[in-house]
Amino acid sequence: MTSQQIETSYSFAKERYAALGVDTDAVLKNLAVIPISLHAWQGDDVCGFESPDAQLTGGGIQAIGNYPGKARTAAEMRMDLDKALSLIPGSHRVNLQAIHVDSDEKVERNNFQPKHFSRWIDWAKERKLGLDFNPSYFSHPKADAGFTLTSTDEGIRQFWIEHGIACRKIGEAFGKALGTPCVTNIWIPDGYKDIPVDRKAPRERLVNALDTILAEKIDPRYNLDAVESKLFGLGLESYTAGSHEFYMGYAVSRNLLLCFDTGHFHPTEVISDKLSAVLMFVDQVLLHVSRGVRWDSDHVLILSDELQALAQEIVRGEFLKRVHISLDFFDASINRVAAWVIGARNMSKALLLALLEPTAQLRKFELDGDYTSRLTMLEELKTLPWGAVWDYYCLTQNVPAGHLWLDEIKHYERDVLFKRT
Ligand SMILES: C[C@H](O)[C@H](O)[C@@H](O)C(=O)CO
Ligand SMILES: [Mn+2]
């Protein structure tokens, strides 16, 4: 497709949307400033860089597949992220795990400091990217028993409390250096494979541990704290201490961000329906947008009905300033850089579709009780020429339109990824 063809198609599409009262130029301006935080851990199969042979262990999560080219160092990961970001329209962020530490000296997780992430900060600063952060409560001998902040072993609990404290300070340093608050998100896997007798005590320990981690107030201009629940992890099917109800109550009572991972609920539950409910009671939400297939399988985002519903809720509710969008999937069976690009472009497409909606008109139908018109319009919108608007957006953002970005991935694969052994 030539630029000329893209522009011509866009001008027809623009007219179609204008007839519905939608200004496509304004929509694209809005879309270009909605940040999506790219989760770094898609690039290394959640292994991290603490040692050259680091592996993902425990935590009830799994990256499945052995496609060649995984990032083995932080430098390789930054290169891969650069490639991905060059193929995603808009200005975005990067979301790191603590295990993505980039330090020449070996440091224990409870001693991590901003200086151990200074190369990440320099890289982000150069590219005007914001950084988000996550303490890593898995793949560690002190997490092998399946308990971190809920451990009955005081030494272990203290170690992980110190890790949480250290990570908030790193988040603060990210925020200060980059001029945009870092969302530091706490997720722990702690739970039981089989039915526990005492469901209460681990949760009591978790409240106390979290309160200690979060005791120091950090300026929200630099760091925002989020907590992430989960239904269950692999091998932890019967009980998860940090359940939804636990963190919902905790976030409301401590004025924190609540993180919704879209793969962390019963398969028939949808976050699109939960968003406006919780935003009545928490100020801000963090999304980990994932795609669970039967379970929290962390598949790459597709432009599903639910992804579109989620974006619609964010836009219709005017929640763009209160919802931080991060991705969370890890598929090791396909090109990892392509996985980022597919997922982020789909998130962006879902937001575009939502922004292109004549929401006021639809709301009026609803308020008037004219549900026939509401359904008709919602269905007709699906076949409007939004693809032409998307292609034009890519053109104006200097990224390939259509599937042409894949050519770049194939070159990168041949020249860089396949040379990694
Ligand atoms: C890498 C972790 O799995 C991720 O950060 C966490 O958010 C999660 O979703 C665990 O299932
Ligand atoms: Mn998550």
For the chain, domain boundaries: 25-361
Average pLDDT over residues 84-94: 98
Cα dist. 152→148, 200, 205, 277, 293 in Å? 9, 13, 8, 35, 34
**104-125 pLDDT per residue, tens:** 999 999 999 999 999 999 999 9
Contacts 24+ apart (CB under 8 A), 16-19: 16/384, 16/385, 17/356, 17/384, 17/389
Average pLDDT over residues 95-103: 98
Pick the residue whose CA is nearest to atom 7 on ligand 1.
187
pLDDT of 354 > 90? The answer is yes
CA atoms of 354 and 374, how far apart (whole Å): 15
> What is this structure's pTM?
0.98
Enumerate residues lining ligand 1, CB below 6 A.
41, 46, 61, 134, 187, 228, 230, 261, 288, 296, 328
Q: What pLDDT shows up at residue 421?
A: 81
Please tell me which residue in 228, 331, 357, 413 is annotated as part of the active site. Answer: 228
Q: Which of 172, 225, 261, 331 is catalytic?
A: 261
Residue 298, annotated ligand binder?
A: yes
User: What share of the chain has pLDDT > 70, as a percent?
Assistant: 100
* Cβ-contact 291, 329 below 8 angstroms: yes
Query: To the nearest whole number, what is the mean pLDDT of the chain?
Result: 98
Res 140: pLDDT: 98
Per-residue pLDDT of 303-340, as tens digits, reads 999 999 999 999 999 999 999 999 999 999 999 999 99
- Report the candidate in 248, 243, 249, 247 with the shortest Cα–Cα distance to residue 265: 243
CATH 2.30.130.10 fits 25-361, yes or no: no
Q: Ligand 1: which of 288, 297, 299, 324 to mutate, judged by most atoms within 8 Å of the beta carbon?
A: 288
The residues that bridge with 295 in the sheet, in sequence order, are 293
Structure confidence by residue, pLDDT tens digits, 241-282? 999 999 999 999 999 999 999 999 999 999 999 999 999 999
Residue appearing with tokens 């704290």:
225
Backbone angles phi, psi at 240, to 5 degrees: -125, 125
pLDDT at 38 over 90: yes
Instruction: State the catalytic residue, choosing from 45, 172, 328, 331.
Output: 328
